[in-house]
Amino acid sequence: MNKKNGFSLIKMILVCLLIAFFIFLVMLLIARAKKSSCDDVNNSNSVFNKNMSYLQQVGSDYFNDERLPKVMGETVKISLSELIEKKYALSITDKNGVSCSNENSYISVTKTENGYVMKAYLECGNDSNYTIKDVVPCNCENACTCKPIIENEFVKETTKTVEKLSCSKGKLSGNKCVIKTLVDTKNPTIKTTTTTDTKPANKVVISGTKTKVGTETVDVPVDPIINKEADKTEKVCKTVEQEKTYDCNCTTYRNYLGQSVTTCSTCTTTIPVEKCDYVTTPGAVTKTCPKGAHSSGSGDSLKCWNVVTRCPSTSNYSEGSGNNLKCYVVTSGKYEHNCKGYNGYTLVGTSSCVKTNTISTPVCTKGYKLENNVCNKYNTTTKKAVVKKETKTILDYKWSAADVLKGYTKTGKTREVENKACTK
């Protein structure tokens, strides 16, 4: 009996120890999982905060006096992609090495009564945030300290493989060689075009009585010239708040089959989005009078006219024109008509001087091309161009206030950039 009871007590103690050990292992695994999750969150937040600080510094470097808004309430904005393109910033990546949004991330400065407010917005995947910072120009009269920024020039040598296309025959067009072969030659046909020009014949008195009378001047209306400026199309952009949906409050558990299942709620947030429209402003329409014409009024009331010297209605004969016009009344007169002063013109009847112009043009039939006064026909074939790969060395230069730039080497050149925005 005693042995049996002793054995049962030992067995009970062992079972209790196993249960306690199992509970300890479970609690240890849960604690490690929580710590790992917290470490991931802390690491992610640390990287995001560093990236945000970098974006703020870029904004302080970029916005100098020339780039600050001039009108109260005006906002000047630049995206991260533009800053990268202008060599003021490098691409920003999250803790996993994935690039943040260069288009949605931006820096803006708004002019206020007390100075300026700078906003830096950064979006990396599902993480986004912004900071607001008061800035004042360097010529402020308060305790601002402005020091010039010294930037170093860096260079990186890279190689790039390019494809060079060439043709042994023919002419290169895109990635093809176009080969033209002459297959036929013949003479063109001659197309003749005849035109005539008619002028009034000169009327000359050869006998009779000429009595000179005075000339008169009259105002002859002329149409004004309408001038229209080209329409102007401008890109007008504004920042609006737009809702963005993303997964949040995610929970992972195992179902009855032992499979890992994740369920998430749907959350929304608002992010600033730049929307642009193209606005066309019609060009201004103005009216002017032809050169030499007289004018009165302006705009729609503009009137134009020429002062013309002519013979009065009592005159039946004239000589000369313009300021040299002479008017006569001819009685019992006989006249002669000629084309004097009209080179190449022939008198037709008694009132017209006619000149005939004949133009001969060589013409080729369809499919032929006129070259050196003959018609040539070609057969065109194409074949792939010869591709030859070449390696080129490219030098990429960048300016940065940093002392070390990953992948780049200092050239030894420096430049001084005046710091135009200071923090209070």
Q: What are the extents of the domains in the chain?
A: 2-137, 194-229+284-360, 233-279
Which two structure tokens, joined as six digits, stand for 22?
A: 């199992």
If pLDDT is split at 50, 70 and 90, which confidence band does 348 have? very high
In angstroms, rounded to a whole number, what is the distance separating the alpha carbons of residues 393 and 158?
6
Lowest-confidence region among 60-74, 350-364, 400-414: 60-74
Q: What is the mean pLDDT of residues 195-220?
A: 92
Residues of the chain above pLDDT 70, percent? 87
Instruction: State the pLDDT at residue 5.
Output: 54
Rounded average pLDDT over 322-326: 88
248 contact partners, CB below 8 Å, separation of at least 6: 264, 265, 266, 267
* Average pLDDT over every residue of 400-414: 87
**119 falls in which pLDDT band (50, 70, 90)?**
very high
pLDDT for the residue 325: 92
User: Per the structure block, which two tokens stand in for 318?
Assistant: 């004239």
Q: Which of 46-60, 232-246, 379-393 has the lowest mean pLDDT?
A: 232-246
When mean pLDDT is compared across 37-46, 212-221, 261-270, 344-353, the lowest value belongs to 37-46
Q: How high is the pLDDT of residue 350?
A: 84
Task: Say yes or no to pLDDT of 62 above 70.
Answer: yes
Half-sphere exposure of 78 toward its Cβ, with a 13 Å CA cutoff? 22
Q: Band the pLDDT of 73: cuts 50, 70, 90.
A: confident
**Residue 119 and residue 106: Cα distance in Å, rounded?**
8
Q: Is the pLDDT of residue 252 over 70?
A: yes
Percent of the chain with pLDDT over 90: 36
Higher-confidence residue of 368 and 69: namely 368
What's the average model confidence in pLDDT over 325-333?
Answer: 92
pLDDT attached to residue 212: 93
Q: Which residue has the higher pLDDT, 174 or 11?
A: 174
Is residue 246 scored above 60 in pLDDT?
yes
Least confident of 40-44, 307-311, 313-317: 40-44
Q: Tell me, what's the pLDDT at 48?
A: 87
Q: What local confidence, expressed as pLDDT, does residue 148 receive?
A: 65
Average pLDDT over residues 230-249: 81
First to last CA, the chain: 89
pLDDT at 187 (0 to 100): 94
pLDDT confidence of residue 250: 73
Q: Which residues pair with 335 in a beta bridge?
A: 205
Segment 3-46, tens digit of pLDDT: 455 556 777 777 777 787 777 777 767 656 554 444 444 455 78
Average pLDDT for 238-246: 78
Report which secondary-structure segment, H or E, holds 408. none
Query: Which pLDDT belongs to residue 142?
Result: 46
> What does pLDDT average to over the chain?
83
Torsion angles phi and psi, residue 341, rounded to 5 = 90, -10
Calpha distance 126→349 (Å, rounded): 95
DSSP three-state, residue 8: helix
